Amino acid sequence: MSAPSFVTVFALYPDLTQLDFTGPHQVLCRIPGATTIIASRMGGEIEAEGGLVIGRTTPLADIERCDLICVPGGMTATQAALDEEFVAHVRRLALGARYVTSVCTGSLILGAAGLLQGKRAACHWAWRSLLTEFGAIPDEGRVVRDGNIFTGGGVTAGIDFAFTMLTEISGEAYAKALTLGLEYAPSPPYGGGRPELADEATLRLVSGNMNKVMPQRLAEAQEAGRRLSRYATSP
């Protein structure tokens, strides 16, 4: 039996933000002729944020290679960045992949794997500054490309990221057709989904909530950043 022409791997971890994964998955699993593998460090079930259980994930150690690796984000991303076995598998697969990608704070995990040094990368606006702990260049773009690295901003940007990847891999005509097929025509009831668009009171409220957990996330990112010394050179 011939090998699949294109292999996509989603690398999951406990308490990830499910839309960071399920949004891109809805698009990327439709790459013609491709195989999509949902993976985690141990395999089996992974419980995402909000209690959604994702079952039958493949152990990362069982995956030899992939063409595209995608790491979703979550409030536990900086904890996952300290999971040395998980990060080592992300790095191993990424170094052999055509495309290295992430959504939201998944870029912090790519950073912890030594994949973003000197690279521009997107992240959720509240945690974007943490990218500097890994030698990355924070970029405010909703979807950012630097070489073969594609990173999406916060949560819903994962769908835009996925269509960007689909265009890259399968062509504009196919991506346009799937955009229509999925009726992807976002029209939110409120237009304040980015800090520069939000009203002052809303921005103050959300920023205040994020700031409550920033010390822990910063400490975890700094520790993950210190571990980068294990990589003699960046890819």
Q: Among 29, 66, 70, 104, which one carries the catalytic annotation?
A: 104
Burial per residue of 85-117, b for 16 or more beta-carbon CB atoms within 10 angstroms, e otherwise: ebbebbbbbbeebebbbbbbbbbbbbbbbbbbe
Q: Angle at Cα 88 formed by Cα 84 and Cα 90, nearest 5°?
A: 120
How far apart are the C-alpha atoms of 188 and 119, rounded to whole Å? 32
Which is nearest to 159 in space by CA: 106, 217, 104? 104
Output DSSP code: residue 67: S
For 30, what's the count of Cα atoms within 13 Å in the CB-facing half-sphere? 19
Instruction: Answer for the pair 170, 151: CB distance below 8 angstroms, yes or no.
Output: no
Helix ranges restricted to H, the chain: 18-28, 77-80, 84-95, 106-112, 157-170, 172-181, 200-226
Structure-block tokens of residue 123: 């992240």
Per the annotation, the verdict on 104 as an active-site residue is yes
Catalytic annotation, residues: 104
